[in-house]
Chains A and B, each alone.
Chain A
C-alpha cells in the first residue's frame, strides 16, 4: 500500500475520559472527492477537527503527502494546504464578506495569487461579489455557506475539508452548493466532504466512508454505496426518489 495524499491511520480522539473516535482509518487520493457519511454523533466533525489540528489525537496518526500532521498546530496545518469550512460555518459575523475572505487568505504571502483566487471565488459565487461590503452575519444561509467555502478556498488549499455544507439549507441552495463543490474539485482541489445529505454527497464523490459511533463501518465506491440496500435504508431514505 503506497502513501496516500491524505491518510488517517487508526486515529483515536478523546474528549476528557470519553473516547469519541476508536481507531478511524481513511485514505484520500489527490484529486478525489471523498464523502464521510454517518448519523449524528458518529464522529465526523471530530474527525475533521483532528485533521485540522483543532484537537490532538490520543492515538494513531494523520499524514499528508507522507508528513505527519497530528503533531502540528492548526495554523501550521493551514499553511501546509489543508483548510476546513467548519460545521455551522463559523463566519466572522460582524466583519464584512471581504474581510472574511481576506482572513481566509491570512497565510497567503503572494498577493497576486490571492487576487486570482478571489476572482475565481466571485465567479463561482457571484452572490458574494455583489455583497462584499455586507456584514457576514446578515447573509442568507446559502450565502453564508458560499462565504464559508470561499473563505476556506482563499488560503489556496490542496485539500478542502467541508463539514456539512448543506446543513440547514433549502433544497435549491443546497443543490447549488454541491454543484460548486464539484466545480472546485475540477479545478484541482481534493475534497473531503462530511454530509448528512448522503445521496447528494455520493453523487459528486468518487468514494465514501460510513461512520458509526466513532468507527468506520463501511468503505466503498460512491456508486456502490448508492446502490447498497443497507445504506439506502439507513442513510438514503429508500422511499425517496431524487
Chain B
C-alpha cells in the first residue's frame, strides 16, 4: 500500500513535468500544425541555464531555498522564451508558406543544433545540480512519507498550468490565441495580428518547458545534454494521449502517462520504464489517434 502511494505520487509529480513540456508541443501544433522537435532541447537548455544562473548569481545559500528555486525557474523561463521566439523567427516563419515537410526538416535541424550546442557548451557528461537547495525533508500523508520536493514540483507545475489555462480562457490575448488556433484567416478579420500571436506562443511554450527543465534538475539532481530526447518524447506522447492541440488534454495526458509509467516500472519491471511510454504512444496512435479529449484537435485549444 505504501509502495503504491509512493509510486502514485512520484508518477503524478513526474507526470506534471511531462504535462508542462507537452503544453509547448500542443500549443505550437494547435497553431501551426507543426511538431516543434526542438522543444525537448529547449527543455534541456532550461535545465542547464538554471545551473548557470545559480552559479552566476551565486544564489545558493543567499536566500531561502524556495526563493532560489523560484528565481532560477523564472530567469530560465525568460531566457528560453527568448530563444523560442528567435527559433520561430529564424527557423519556422520563413517556411510558413512552404510545404510541411520543409518545416519538419527545419524542426529536426533545430533540435540537432540545440542539443549539439548544449553539448559543446556544457560537455557530454552529466552535470549535477547542487543538492540541498530545496529542503530534503518529507511530509507524512496518511502515514506515508512523501518527499517535500516531490510535492513542490507537483504544485509548481500545476500552478503554471492553471495560470496558462486562466490566461487562455480569461484574457483578451488568450481569446486571440484560441481564435488563431481555430481559424487564422478569420482571426485576421477580427483585427488580430496573427504573427504576434504565434510569437507569443513560441515565448510561452518554451518558457514552460524551461520551467520543467529546472524542476527536473532540482528534483533528480542530475542533467544531461540529451535528456530532452526522452523527456521530449514522453511529453509528446502525453500531448498525443490527451489529443494534440488540446491544452487540457496535454495536462491530463502528462499526469496519466506519469502515473502509468511509475506503476509500470514498479509492478512490471523498471527495465521497461521507457518502453511503457512508447507502448502507450503506439497504442493510442492505433486505437484512438485523436487522443482522449481531442476530436478535432485545434478547436479545443
Contact = CB atoms under 8 A, between A and B. Distances in A.
Interface of A: 52-54, 73-75, 78-79, 83-84, 86, 90-95, 99, 102-104, 106-107, 151-152, 155
Interface residues of B, number: 20
B178 A90 contact: no
Given A79-B191, A103-B179, A103-B187, 12 more contacts: A54-B185, A74-B191, A78-B188, A78-B191, A83-B191, A84-B189, A90-B186, A93-B299, A102-B172, A103-B176, A152-B189, A155-B190
A39 to B, nearest CB: 24
B33 interface: no
B35 to A, nearest CB: 22
Count chain A CB atoms within 10 A of each CB in B175, B187, B189, B190 and give the residue with the most. Answer: B189
Given A93-B299, A94-B300, A102 B175 contact: yes
Nearest to A105: B190
Contact of A106 (B183, B185, B192): B192
Contacts of A53: 188
Contact of B176 (A73, A86, A106): A106
24 contacts: A53-B188, A54-B189, A73-B188, A74-B191, A75-B192, A75-B194, A78-B188, A78-B190, A83-B189, A83-B191, A86-B186, A90-B183, A90-B189, A92-B183, A92-B186, A94-B296, A95-B179, A95-B182, A99-B175, A102-B175, A103-B175, A106-B172, A106-B175, A152-B189
Pairs A-B, 7 closest by C-beta atoms? A78-B191, A107-B191, A90-B186, A74-B188, A94-B299, A106-B190, A75-B193
Contacts of A107: 190-191
Nearest to A49: B185
Contact residues of B: prevailing secondary structure: helix
Contacts, number: 69
Most interface-central of B187, B188, B191 (chain A CB within 10 A): B191
A92 B186 CA distance: 8
Contacts of A92: 178-179, 182-183, 186
Contacts of B185: 54, 86, 90
Contacts of A94: 182, 296, 299-300
Nearest to A137: B299
B274 to A, nearest CB: 36
Residue of A73, A103, A104, A151 ringed by the most chain B CB atoms within 10 A:
A103
Nearest to B187: A103
Nearest to B195: A73
Nearest to B183: A90
A93 B182 contact: yes
Contacts of A106: 172, 175-176, 190-192
A97 B196 CA distance: 25
Contacts of B183: 90, 92
Contacts of A91: 186
Nearest to A77: B191
Nearest to A88: B186
Contacts of A83: 189, 191
Contacts of A52: 188-189
Interface string B274-301: 0000000000000000000000100110
B193 A86 contact: no
Interface in B200-249: none
Nearest to B172: A106
Given A92-B183, A94-B182, A104 B193 contact: no
Given A92-B179, A103-B175, A73 B193 contact: yes
Nearest to B194: A75
A52 to B, nearest CB: 6
Contacts of B188: 52-54, 73-75, 78
A102 B191 CA distance: 12
Nearest to A155: B191
Nearest to B298: A94
A201 to B, nearest CB: 21
Contacts of B187: 103
A154 B61 CA distance: 55
